[in-house]
């Protein structure tokens, strides 16, 4: 069986228990590094690269998925080809800092397809949203129809990305 992986999102501490992270073998870390660098490796190519049999490689890779060390598999799409070339970072200040207001905001923002990422942060704003839209006019519509309608939004600070300097960062481990 050939395993093709388009892109791996690898996480060593956020979504799985520390004890599982501590149980990762040097071989599994090697597998994760190889797949993070080239997610299109077939299982046979990966096995050869890390120096094990294909069946052993398959078993290790499946374990990494099962414990949450490898989160998912995806293809990176050129946003310009799907008319989403404009990136906007939006800082959001909520009117209250309560667990209920945070939960309501997170649920509602997670349902918006143009919101690619949402971070709860410490500082002058409560959340940062990473948004992709076609252009400024599309963002203006999205802002007036969706962002300010999110639960608890008191203030919005908008930052238009002029140049995407680094968008393919890999975890160092």
Query: Tell me: the pLDDT tens digits for 99-125?
Result: 999 999 999 999 999 999 999 999 999
CATH code assigned at 40:
1.10.10.10
Query: Tell me: the pLDDT tens digits for 39-95?
Result: 999 999 999 999 999 999 999 999 999 999 999 988 899 999 999 999 999 999 999
Residue 29 has pLDDT above 70, yes or no: yes
CATH code assigned at 128:
3.30.70.920
Overall residue count recorded for the chain in this entry: 173
Is there a single domain that holds both residue 115 and residue 150? yes
Confidence of residue 5 (pLDDT cuts 50, 70, 90): very low
Give residue 68's domain range.
8-73
Per-residue pLDDT at 39: 93
Is there a single domain that holds both residue 52 and residue 110? no
Residue 170 maps to a domain: no
CA atoms of 82 and 73, how far apart (whole Å): 20
Per-residue pLDDT at 21: 59
């Amino acid at each position: 069986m050939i395993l093709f992986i388009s892109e791996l999102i690898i996480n060593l501490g956020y979504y799985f228990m520390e004890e599982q992270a501590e149980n990762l073998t040097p071989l599994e870390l090697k597998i994760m590094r190889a797949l993070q660098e080239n997610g299109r490796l077939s299982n046979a190519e990966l096995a050869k690269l890390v120096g094990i049999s294909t069946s052993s490689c398959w078993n290790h890779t499946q374990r990494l998925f099962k414990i949450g060390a490898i989160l998912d598999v995806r293809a990176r799409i050129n946003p310009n080809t799907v008319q989403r070339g404009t990136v906007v970072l939006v800082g959001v200040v909520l009117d209250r800092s309560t667990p209920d207001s945070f939960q309501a905001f997170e649920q509602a923002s997670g349902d918006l397809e143009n919101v690619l990422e949402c971070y709860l942060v410490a500082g002058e704003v409560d959340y940062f949203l990473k948004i992709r839209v076609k252009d400024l006019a599309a963002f203006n519509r999205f802002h007036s129809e969706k962002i300010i309608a999110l639960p608890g939004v008191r203030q919005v600070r908008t930052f238009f990305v002029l140049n995407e300097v680094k968008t393919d960062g890999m975890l160092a481990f």
